[in-house]
Amino acid sequence: MGDVPASVAKYLDAVGVTRHAVAWNTLVPLVWETADVHVEFRVPRDADLAGITGSFCAIVKTGIRAIAHW
């Protein structure tokens, strides 16, 4: 879990999205500041470009690429 903030930063940089995201409250304990990622813990809105959630296993298809990760 300690690698998550840096992994999120790397992914957002790779897809060209600013390092600003919304996330589940369960991710509050992670140290986002060390990865220079600004995270708000609230309900997402239409203008949000990145959302971070937890999962055991996932397959996601976005407008950018298909991802099976974490």
Average pLDDT, the chain: 86
> Considering its fold, how many domains does the chain have in total?
1
Confidence of residue 70 (pLDDT cuts 50, 70, 90): very low
Stronger pLDDT, 59 or 30, i.e. the higher one? 30
Using DSSP's 3-state secondary structure scheme, residue 27 falls into: helix
Count Cβ atoms below 10 Å from residue 25 Cβ, excluding itself: 8
By residue range, what is the domain housing residue 19? 4-67
pLDDT of 51 reads 93
